[in-house]
Chains A and B, each alone.
Chain A
Amino acid sequence: MTGLLLVLSAGSFIAPLASVEGVWTQDTHPLPCRVATSILVERSLAADIGLSPGDSVDVGSDPAGPGCRVMIAGVYEPDADPSELARERPRILMHLPEVAAMAGREDEVDRFSIRLRDPAGADDVARDLVALMPGTRVLRADVVAARASTTFEVVRRFHRAIGIITITAGGVFLACIMTLKVQERRSQVAALRLVGVSRKTLLSWLILEAALVSVFGGILGIGIGSLASRLINGFYQRAYQTTLEFSIVTTETVWIGLVLAVSLGLIAGAVGAVRLLQVDALAEVGR
C-alpha cells in the first residue's frame, strides 16, 4: 500500500467523471466523437435507467448539445468504498483519451498513480517528484486513504460518544431495576431470616438471582442488537445501493455487552442485597 504514490494536480477537484441524464460530462467543450467507443456503466445507474450491455447511449459534454453514440460494454459493481457513499452522481467508465477529448483537456489528467519498485523509498520519491513537477502534490497511498476516511473517523468518534451515553443510561437503568428487584424480596428475605437461613446464604441467593437476570437480559439484548444490526444493514444497503456493511456485531462487541450487563447487574444486586440484609427482619414482617 505505501509503495503506491498518488500524484494530484494541486488545484484539481477530484470530481466524478460525469453527470447522467442521457449522460454528459461537466465541462462544455466541442465534442470530437471517436469510433468504436465503449463504456462501462455502474450497476445502480444501469438498474435505475434500464441499461444493459450491448445498449447504445449518447454521451456528451453539453446536455443541450449533440452527444457521441457509445456502446455499453459492461455493467460494473463499484468497490464497497465508504468514502463513495455520499456521492450523488452515478459513474460511467470510459477510456482516458476519450474523456480528455470530450472535456477539452487532452494530454491532461487530474491524478495518476505510481507503483514503486521499492516501497520503502516512497517518501524520497515523493519529494523528488514534487521538485520535478511544480504545481503537483505527491501523496503516499496510505495518506490518501487516511484523508478519504476522515469522515468515517469523525463518525466513529461520534458513535463512540453516543455509545458511552447509551451505556451510562443502560447502566443506570439496570442498577435501578436490580435494586427494585432485590427490594421486592423484602418480606420473603425477612421471613427466611426468621426461620434461620443465614445471611450468607441469602446474600448468595440474591446475588445469583441478580446474575441470572443480568445474563438473560444481556443475551436478550444481544439478540435484539443483532436483529437491529441486520435491519440497519438492510435499510442502508438498499438506500445507498451498496454492499457495505454499516453495522457489524463482533465477538468483542458481544463480550463487552455481556460483561457490562452482568457486572453492572451483579454490583447493583449485591449493593441492594447487602442493604436488604441489614434491615430488621421482625420489623419487616410487621412484628
Chain B
Amino acid sequence: MLILRYSARELLRHPIRSGLAILGVAVACAMLLDMLMLGGGLNSSFESLLTTAGYELRVAPAGTLPFDTGATISDLQTVRTGMQRLDEIDGVAPVLGANLLLEGPDRPRVFVLGVDPADQGIYRLEAGEDLRSEARGERGIVIDRELTDRGLAIGDTIMLQAPGSFADARSRRGEFTIVGIADFLYSSVGERSAAVSLGTLAEITDQPDEASLLMVRLAEGADPEDVVARLRSDFPGLEIASVGQLVERAAQRLSYFRQLAVILGTVSLIVTTLLIGTIMAISINDRYGTIAALRAIGISRRSLVAAFALESLLLSLAAATIGLALGLLVAGQLESILSDFPGLPAAIRFFVLDPGRVGLAAAGVIAAGVLAALVPAIRAMNAPIASTLHREEP
C-alpha cells in the first residue's frame, strides 16, 4: 500500500507530464484496440453472416463465387436430387439471381432472387406473408426496405422486366403482388433486392432448370469438409465450398485490412513502449538521489523496482481505460466509413467488438508499459549508492 501511495504521488507531482503520457498512450491504445477489432472482425463477421441462415455449404458454378458472375448451374433438378441422396445432406436450397428492371419512371434495377420459399436462407421475413410456392405462376413477391423506401407497400402490384437482348426485352416481364417485406441477408448497401418463386424467375429470365447458387444444409453431426470433398468428386463441374472455406477466401480478398491492422497495431505497441519508457526513464533519472537514499536506509532493490513498475502500471491503466473508450468511439466512425465499401453485404462489420480483443488491447498496453519501465528502473538500482548520494547532494 505504501508503494502504491508513493507511485501515485509521483505521478501526481508532474501533472502535465503524466497527463500527456496518459493521453499519448490512450491514443495508441485506442489504435491498438481498433486494429485488433479490424484484424479479426471481418472474419468473424463473415462467418456469422454465412452461418446465420443455417446452411453449411455453398455450391456455385465452376470457377466463380456465388453471384460473382452471371454463370449458372445447369441441370438443377438432377444436381439437387443427386445431392439430396447423400445421408449427410439434410436439404438443398436453390437460388437463381437476376437483375430485373422495375417498371417506373427511372426503371431502377432490382436484384431478384428466385427461391424455394419452403427452404431458403436468403432473407428473413419482417412483415406480411411469405411466398407460397416455388413453382411457376406464383406471382407473389417479397421486397426489401430499399424498395419500400421508394413508396412500395404490401398489396401493391409491380411489373418487373428482364433486360436481356434488345429483341425480346419487351416480352420477358412479369406482374407481381407484394406479399411481404424482408431483410435480405446478403444485400449490399443501397442494393434493391426482392424474392420471387424460383419457377417464375426462371420463366422470366429464360433459365429453366438453372440456379446461381445452391445452399446446402447438412445433417446433424456431418463434417462439412468431408461432405465438400465427396460432392467435389461427385460434381466436378461445380464450385463447392464450406462456410469455413468461403470465409478464408473472403479473408484473402480483404487481406489488405488484416495486414494494415497488424502493422498499425504493432506501431501502436511500439509507441506505447517508447512513450512510457521515455517518461519513466526521465522520471527515474530525476530521482537517482532519492533512490540511492532509500537504498542506503535499507529499502530493497526489489521493492523499489516494484514501485516503479507500479507507477508505470498506474499510468498504463489510466491510459488503457481512456484508450478503450476512445477506441470504441473511433471504431464506430471508421465502421461508418467502411460501410460504404461496394459489393459487400450490408450486414458485414469490419470492426467487431469482442471482449477478448478488448482485454488483449488493454493487456498489451499495460504489459508494454510495465516492461518499458523495468529497464530504466533496473539500471537505476545498479547505480553505486555512495557516489550517487555524493553527486546528488544539494
- Hey, which bits of chain A sit against chain B, CB under 8 A? 9-13, 15-16, 19, 21, 24, 26-28, 62-64, 86, 88-89, 107-108, 133-137, 150-151, 154, 157-158, 161-162, 165-166, 168-169, 172-173, 175-177, 179-180, 183-184, 275, 285-287
Contacts and interface: CB of A to CB of B under 8 A. Distances in A.
Contacts of A154: 337-338, 340-342
A169 B31 CA distance: 9
A35 B74 CA distance: 29
Interface stretch (B15-23, B124-132, B141-149, B361-369): B15-23
A31 to B, nearest CB: 14
Interface string B52-86: 00000000011110011111001000000000000
B62 A26 contact: yes
A85 to B, nearest CB: 9
B342 A27 contact: no
Contacts of B107: 10
A13 B20 contact: no
Given A134-B170, A184-B282, A179 B100 contact: no
Contacts of A176: 17, 20-21, 23-24, 275, 278-279
A286 B166 contact: no
A178 B340 CA distance: 40
A103 to B, nearest CB: 10
Contacts of B169: 134-135
B27 A86 contact: no
Contacts of A161: 330, 333-334, 337
A13 B111 CA distance: 11
A169 B68 contact: no
Contacts of B161: 134-135
B282 A180 contact: yes
27 contacts: A11-B98, A11-B162, A15-B69, A28-B74, A63-B236, A64-B236, A64-B237, A86-B253, A108-B165, A135-B101, A135-B162, A135-B169, A136-B166, A137-B109, A150-B342, A154-B338, A158-B338, A166-B31, A169-B271, A176-B20, A176-B24, A179-B16, A179-B20, A180-B278, A180-B279, A275-B16, A287-B394
Contact of B69 (A26, A62, A134, A151): A26
Given A108-B165, A136-B166, A151-B342, 13 more contacts: A9-B163, A10-B109, A11-B109, A11-B164, A13-B68, A136-B163, A172-B20, A173-B24, A176-B21, A176-B275, A179-B20, A183-B17, A285-B394
Interface in B121-177: 161-166, 169-170
Query: Closest 8 CB pairs between A and B?
Result: A19-B63, A286-B394, A15-B69, A135-B163, A135-B169, A10-B163, A11-B163, A26-B71
Contacts of B23: 172, 176
Interface of B: 16-17, 20-21, 23-24, 27-28, 30-31, 34, 61-64, 67-71, 74, 98-101, 107, 109, 161-166, 169-170, 205, 236-237, 253, 260, 264, 268, 271, 274-275, 278-279, 282, 330, 333-334, 337-338, 340-343, 394
Contacts of B67: 13
A221 B71 CA distance: 50
A135 B99 CA distance: 11
Contacts of A172: 20, 23-24, 27
Nearest to B161: A135
A242 to B, nearest CB: 13
B24 A89 contact: no
A26 B166 CA distance: 23
A26 B163 contact: no
A125 B161 CA distance: 23
A13 B166 contact: no
Nearest to A240: B256
A147 to B, nearest CB: 8
B101 A169 contact: no
Contact of A11 (B61, B100, B337): B100
